[in-house]
Structure formats: C-alpha cells, structure tokens
Amino acid sequence: MTLRYIAPLVVGLVVLTCKTWAAVDVSMEDRVEVYLKNQAEIPCIYTLQEPALMVVWFTKLPGKDQSRMRIYYYDNLTEIIEEGSEYTGRITVSHSYDPKDVRGTAILTIDKVELSDQREFICMVHNVLKESGEGHTRLQVFKSPSMPVIDGTYTGISVNEEGPSKVANCKVDDGYPRPNITWYKNSFPLQSSDGEIKILESVTNKPNGLLALESQLFITVKREDEDAVFYCEVQYFVPGASKMVESKLINITVHYPTTKLTLSINSPERLIKEGDTVEIHCEGNGKPQPIFTFIHKGEYLSAENEILTLQNVNRLNSGTYECQSLDSISYTEAEGSINITVHYLDDIVVTPEETVLDQGKDLTLTCNALSSSPTNTTWYKDNVTLVEGHVLELHNASYNTSGMYRCEVMVRYLTELRKQKFVQINVQGKPEITKGIEVGLMNKADRSVMLTCSAQGYPLPNISWSLFDQRTSIPVPVAKVENQNTDTGVVSIISVKATSELKANCRAYNEFGEVDASHIIKAFARVTTTTQATSTQATGFTVTPKLPQKGGSGVAIAVIIICLLLIAILGSVLYFLYKKGKLPCGRSGKQDFTKEKASKDDIVMEMKSGKSEEAVLLQGVNGDKKSPTE
C-alpha cells in the first residue's frame, strides 16, 4: 500500500467494526474513498487461531435485487479470480496472517477505479470448521470538477425590469459527486428569496457518468448594483475532505433612467466674447445617456446629441439654454438649463467729433464704447499715457496740443476684447515760424545751399519765399520749392546759389494771419584749383558757419603762423635798417604793409549781417567755427 492511498483510507472515515454474532469475527471499513482512475484498497481483517480456510469476495450489484456476485475465491490450495466479470484482470488480493495477534488480513486491490466501482464489497471468511463470518465496505469514487466559468449579462439590465433579471451564469463540468455552486455579491452569499433573488440550477449526467452543473443567478437589479461585484463558488468533495474554488469577479451593467440633467461649457473659466466658439455639454444622471434636445429662446437647435456647438457667437446668442431628455424605457423626462453671456464691445464713439479749436481754448473729449461688461479707457498721445478714464481735458491749447490722440477701451475682465480710435486735434491760429530760416550745408560743386522754413498753424499755412540781392535789392527768382506737411504744420525747402550776398524771406500765412522770417546769405568764396589752401581758408572765414571743412582751421592757423613769422622777419629787418638809420620811422609805412598783406588774400567778399545770429569773421581763428544758430 503506497502512502498515497493510505491517506484517503484513514482520514475522515468512520470506521465501524462489523460485529456480527458470527463464528468468524470480520472487521472492515465502512467506506473507502478514492479518486477516479486511481487504485482502491479494501482491507478485510479477521480474528482466527489459524489462517482462514477460505476467503471469498463479493460485490453487491446495484439495483433492487441486492444480489451478490462472487468476484474472488481463495482456499489453502486455490485462488480463483472469476472469469468474465468486470473485475477480471483488475483485482488482486494479498493475504497475510499474524499468529501472535491471531489475526489475518486479506486486502482487495482494484486498479483504475471506475464510477461503476462505487458499490459495496463483501469479504467472507471461513474457519477450519467451515464456519464463516463476513464484513462489507462501500467504495466511494470522486472526481474534481473543472474550474468554474462565469458569464455576466453585459448588455445592461434596467432597474425598471419587473422581477429578477438574469445577471450571471456559472458552469462547472466533469465532477463527481454533484458539486454545489454558491453565488456571492460583494462577498455576501446569495440565497433564493421571494421576488429579489432567484437561483436556477441544472445538472447534466454525462454519458461517462460525470456531472455538469450550471447555475443561473437572477436578481432584481438596483442602481447601486452597477458597483457590485459578483462571483460564484464551487464546493466539492474529495477523498477525506471538501474543497472550494471561486470564479473570477464580474460587474454588471445597470441601466436606470435620467432624472436630472447637468449642463456645462467647454471652458467655464474663460468669459465668452463675440466670435468665440462655445460648446455646451448636457449630461444625464442615468444610464445609458438618453437622447437630448437643446432649446434656446423657444427654438430647437441641432446638436450632436450631448454637445451643442455654437460657432462664432454674438450677443444674440446670450441667454438661457435648455436641455431636455426623454428616457426611452421608462419615459422619464428630465430638464436642465444654463445661462450664457456673450460679451461684446462696440465701436468707440469720441465726442465732440469736431476737433479744431482756437489757441488758448479748452476742450473736453470723451471716449465711450458700449460693452456688456465694465471697461477701462485710456487716452494716449504719441504712445504716452495721458489719462486713464473716459474724459480727456485739454487746457489753454497751443500748437503743441495739436496731434494724433488715441483712445483705447478694454473690457476689464476680458482683455482680448479691446478697441481703439484715433483723433486728430488741430489748434487753429496765426502761423508760427518755429526755427527761423535754417541754412543747410554748401554744395561745393555749384555753391548752392538749402534754406528751410518750418511753420506751424491750422489751417496749415502756405509758405511763400522771396529772394533779393542784398546790394542791388533786385529780386532773384526762387527756383524749385519743396513743401512737406507735418502733423502740425508745413516745412518748405528751397535751394539758392550763393554767388552774391542775398536776403531770403520766408512768409507763412493762413486765414488767421501771417508771419515773416528773413536771413542774409553771404556769398561763397569761389573755389580755385591753384591756391587750394588759401581759398579754403577764405571760405572758412566768409561763408556761413555751417562749413563742413574740419581741416580749415588748422590750415588757417598754419598760414597765420607763417604770416606772423614773415612779419617778424620783416620787423627784424626793418628794425635792423632802422637801427642802421636807413629807414624813416612813421606809422604810414606799417599801414601800407598791412594793406598789401590783405590784398594778397583771395577774398572776394565779406559777409555782413544785420542779425546777431550771423557768423563773425574771425571766429574760425579761435577754433570755434560754430555759429550761435547751430
């Protein structure tokens, strides 16, 4: 006997000694348990003074007649295993006798136990006096079932179903004897109860004698069952024990009607402005989601079921949006709504529209734009903030007050929503010449200079030029005039050839009056090729102070130093001659000398000006070429 078979034989069995008041005392186990296809051993123990004369094993046939069939015979001479029985070739009996204990044992071993072996086995023992005694053991066969297979109802079970609905199905196969199936919901076992829970079981006897068991669970589904966990557990007997196995866990889909609708906007943290795209979501508290309908101002809107998309909204899209639903099973109606405000900012209106004012006058400008929400208004001029608020007050208007003003309106909590408007303010009055006549650089090639006259005023002044020869007072024709309008005035430019001393006059006028400025243009030195340095020096002294030649003063200083040296040499020669008494001493001689010196210089003319801003002849010598006008 291997250990494997001892265990089921011994464990958990009630061992009954079959004490019949027979001549031979035989004891057997009441029941022997064994797995299908395994080997079963059935011991038969007798008490005799000598080994048994004869041992016979019978089986009791199933059925009513309870008739016995001999399967084995033994005496001290022969051992017979009955031919033609289902045990032929499958059974052996081992005999032993222990004289000390006066006890003998005959063990029946059955190979490859079948379900049909589950029956009673009888052992009959004869003593030498041919008296007998017998015992019997029932052989019990076991087969563990397959793992339980669970299947839930995934299509969705409505809480509105009348009575219990099928929730799950649990199957086990090939077990023996009949296993039990127990259902669990959230770890609590379920039992059939009136109306709430129904469990249907069906057992199938298979041709091989094994059993298949199927259990169906029906419950009256409630809403909270959508979170419940279901499983089945199989209990079955094995030799000497009972075991249980759980199926995997399942959830079920519960359907319940929508009673409440919740509406939301795709980005609720942002305010909605005109031009935005808005998505309104409608969600029911039921399952599955019902069919939704959206209504705004009494009109049905087309939506992609739970989402209503509003493209490029405007202020007319503001208001209450209703969502309605109808449950297709329970016909439960539900309703919800949401309010939407589409913010807007209209075009800016600036008052007064007339923005021409007289010098010295005051003007109050207001800037407003209709909006759905509080706004911030700011006035700017040349990108400098003037005032934060609707009202811009201009006092004591001057030409500096003229210019382009900008008003910006911004929705306070929605800064992307902003608009601006430009306003040109014109201060009207008599023209003003801003800088007098400005003289440009000399063009060496043709000795021309540009004269610029800038005037401000409104209406924009006209500028007219006139030129006169300073000596002869004969008018000189004015060549090309170039006028440019600025924000607040006019700039007029002419080009003159300064071949003789000229007087230029610039007159600015409009309907409020006129103003003049004049300027003396000195003649320019002619540029000669032979005495470059001298002529340049002369130019430096005589031409307008804007002469560009940087080297002029250096050359002039060098020339003066040379002259002074010549004078010193001449002086010493004269002094020598005077000491020698060769020359008469008198002022006339020196004067002659200086006249001669002056005539040597190639000076054509010297500028004279009635105005203080004119260049002074000898300024260049002191290294300060700049005139006060610069």
Ligand X SMILES: *[C@@H]1O[C@H](CO)[C@@H](O)[C@H](O)[C@H]1NC(C)=O
Q: Which residues of the chain form contacts with ligand X (CB under 6 A)?
A: 76, 179-180, 235-237, 242, 360, 396, 398, 462, 509-511
- Nearest approach in angstroms of CB 256 to ligand X is 35
- Nearest approach in angstroms of CB 118 to ligand X is 16
- Nearest approach in angstroms of CB 179 to ligand X is 6
Which residues are within 8 A (CB) of 577 and not within 5 positions of it... i.e. 6 or more apart?
583
Q: Give the Cα-Cα-Cα angle 261, 343, 392 (nearest 5 degrees).
A: 160
Q: Tell me how far CA of residue 231 lies from CA of 149, 216, 247, in angstroms.
A: 10, 11, 6
- Nearest approach in angstroms of CB 7 to ligand X is 19
Which residue number, 247 or 375, has a Cβ lying nearer to ligand X?
247
- Amino acid letter, 393: E
- Nearest approach in angstroms of CB 279 to ligand X is 58
- Packing angle, helices 532-542 and 552-579, rounded to 10: 100
Which residue number, 398 or 452, has a Cβ lying nearer to ligand X?
398
Q: Which two tokens stand for residue 581?
A: 């008494």
Which residue number, 179 or 489, has a Cβ lying nearer to ligand X?
179
- Nearest approach in angstroms of CB 9 to ligand X is 20
- Nearest approach in angstroms of CB 395 to ligand X is 7
SS3 state at 221: coil
Which residue number, 89 or 459, has a Cβ lying nearer to ligand X?
459
Which residue number, 244 or 533, has a Cβ lying nearer to ligand X?
244
- Nearest approach in angstroms of CB 339 to ligand X is 54
Which residues are within 8 A (CB) of 201 and not within 5 positions of it... i.e. 6 or more apart?
181, 213, 214, 215, 216
Q: Which two tokens stand for residue 505?
A: 């006059």
Q: How far apart are CA 366 and CA 378, in angstroms?
A: 11
Per-residue b or e along 79-96, where b marks 16 or more CB atoms closer than 10 Å to that residue's CB: eebeeeeebeebbebeee
Q: How far apart are CA 86 and CA 93, in angstroms?
A: 16
- Nearest approach in angstroms of CB 492 to ligand X is 12
Q: Give the Cα-Cα-Cα angle 234, 201, 171 (nearest 5 degrees).
A: 45
Which residue number, 337 or 462, has a Cβ lying nearer to ligand X?
462
Which residue number, 179 or 545, has a Cβ lying nearer to ligand X?
179
Q: Tell me how far CA of residue 182 lies from CA of 154, 191, 200, 307, in angstroms.
A: 21, 8, 11, 45
Which residue number, 20 or 235, has a Cβ lying nearer to ligand X?
235
Which residue number, 338 or 508, has a Cβ lying nearer to ligand X?
508
Question: Cβ distance 190 to 183 under 8 Å?
Answer: yes
Question: Cβ distance 365 to 386 under 8 Å?
Answer: no
